[in-house]
Copies of this chain bind each other. A is one copy, B any other.
Amino acid sequence: MSEPTIDVVGIGNALVDVISSESHEFVASQGLVPGSMNLIDEDRREELYSAMGVGTEVSGGSGANTTVGVASLGGTAHYLGRVRADQLGEVFAHDIKAAGVGYSTPLATDGPATGCCLILVTGDGQRTMNTYLGASSLFCESDVDAEVIRSGRILYLEGYLFDPPAAQQAFRYAAAVAHEAGRQVALTLSDGFCVDRHRDAFRALFDSHVDLVFANESELCSLYETSDFDAALEQIRDDVPLAVITRSEKGSVIVNGVDTVTVAAAPVERVVDTTGAGDLYAAGFLYGLARGYDLERCGTVASIAAAEVISHVGPRPQVPLAGLVAGR
């Protein structure tokens, strides 16, 4: 079997973010849970966009942000995700390639518009996301490039992609291709409400398809339907070979069978926008793993990458991360 030529292959919802600064009152008036991710349809997108303030458009998508982070760290990455051949689709394709990530999914010439995520950022840096999946909702098995997956050291699956109907099957297919080629498969749970919607499917995927799971506290607790973090941690320790749990300013916990490694959060002068924190943590961790770093060093690199992205508006790094982690 040939050696992998790509560090990380990511699959996820390809989205352009529309970011606006909003008050807590506005978030509440829209009936939104602060910090949540909500799926919205086209009508709701129009309604919320009309009510929102001035926007900034930047390419996003959780898994896409992660692959961009890997590239920014000096690794190699490829992304699979579906946009339409419209203006925002061209923006998405341009930006991910300009960031040094391979991207070869053909732009769809019909069907829904490129997906977008309306992100309301409050003064405390918390983001509340409203995702119109658009073209991404049709991601399916035929969008999975088996040759690319076989070329990747680690396949990274974005949990949000459990929402579009055809994508779960594409996940299972991609994971099977990766495992057949002797590659590792990582999964992020993405969002507590997403776990609520797809708890059984996530757990089923654990059994045969997943080597590494990323989750934050609320996603982990949602997965095991408990409010007891320590109990949930013991459950995931049994369920997957490697689990990485992020805890915001409390840092992260990595469990690898019997071992438990705790990593402090990297210092941040001011949290401006938490969008992309989990995505960039995953980027740093996967980059380290691909480099053969030990778990503590993987977590340290991950924390530095996450700290950079929450110090500014937007879900992708604004400076080359390789410089920030040199010597760490």
A residues neighboring B (CB under 8 Å): 18, 20, 49-50, 52-59, 86-88, 91, 94-95, 98-99, 113-114, 314, 316
Contacts and interface: CB of A to CB of B under 8 A. Distances in A.
A56 B88 CA distance: 12
A20 B91 CA distance: 12
Nearest first, the 5 closest Cβ-Cβ pairs linking A and B are: A57-B57, A87-B87, A54-B98, A54-B95, A53-B98
Contacts of A57: 56-58, 91
Contacts of A49: 94
Nearest to A68: B54
Nearest to A97: B50
Dominant SS at the A interface?
A: mixed
Contacts of A94: 49-50, 52, 55
Given A57-B58, A58-B56, A58-B57, A87 B99 contact: no
A99 B52 CA distance: 10
A52 B86 contact: no
Contact of A87 (B50, B58, B98, B113): B113
B54 A316 contact: yes
Q: Which of A86, A87, A94, A99 has the most CB of B within 10 A?
A: A87
A49 B94 CA distance: 8
A308 to B, nearest CB: 15
A121 B52 CA distance: 28
A315 to B, nearest CB: 12
12 contacts: A18-B91, A50-B94, A52-B98, A53-B98, A54-B95, A54-B316, A55-B95, A55-B98, A57-B58, A57-B91, A87-B113, A87-B114
